Structure 1
Amino acid sequence: MTEKSVKPSILVVCTGNICRSAMADVILTQRAAERGLAIEVDSAGISNEEAGNPIDDRAQRVLRDAGYEIPRHAARQVRPGELAGYDLVLAMTDRHLSALKRIAERDGVSADNVRMWREFDPELPSGTPVGTELDVPDPWYGGHQDFLDTLAVVEGSADAVLDAAIAAAKAN
């Protein structure tokens, strides 16, 4: 996607696009459908190390157990020039945020639409500074409980993210 779409659009970004961002993509897509919202959702990684791989099996399990349908997914890296085409580009960690800002600078586009996923977490105190305090936990090196914890964090912000995408699209 390189041109601005007419409906609100969200790109969620983590490292390899097989755990956190893929989970967020599934959750946002299903929540938008449940709410009757026409919102484009996609996900990507800052790395190409997992390119072509499906959602991690452990992530699929917790999503399925939570009632989500698992779509076909092929992990991919953020493409040159695509950041400007989204109303919201959401980084899962401060490191991803920095990488996305570098990508925007390289592409010569504004990074005003690049934010942290947990900026929309209603459980966090107002004014929590952008930085590692807003990182979505990485379940990759952990066990089942780590994937459940990540699922809870992602689900906790999903509705606020959808609302923010609608507001951002209206402002653009």
Structure 2
Amino acid sequence: MLPTGSVGGFTITIKSKTDTHANVTLCRFLTSVESKATGSLCNDGVDNDCDGLVDMDDPDCNESPPPSPPSPRPGPPPPFSPSSPQQYRGPRRISPSPPPPRLIIRMSPPPPRPAIAIRSSASSSKGYEYGPAVPPAAGSAAHCHICCLKCIFLAVLCAVLQRLH
């Protein structure tokens, strides 16, 4: 039998002896007692405590580990105190995060468009000609210049007013 608490070592057991011979066994033990609590020692197929019994044949491996003590029950909650720093204040309202910064894209202005001139023409059967802007002749009141195609209405109005004068 191994001394209590011994871990690791060799055991020499004399099986038989005569005046001239001895039959002995040499056993290297890993622990003084095999138990299910040591886990793999009871499932490795080796006599780890040198008692001559392997794994489940060893009564040390058939012992159940002692049951764990019951967990303590939680105590009652602490009494409410107005000065307590951990007092309950009700549901908290989480403030929303600020909106992300607005992305402002500045686009370059469109390329300039050619101006359109509306000229009154006495030789034209249509009464008016539309074409590229031409600089007005000195002292000529017959030309009206537009800077944008969207302003064609104003150009027509301008031409009509010029005819009335």
TM-score, normalised by the number of residues in structure 1: 0.20
Structure with a larger share of its residues in helix: 1
Higher relative contact order (CA 8 A, sep 6+): 1
Larger-Rg structure? 2
Higher strand share: 2
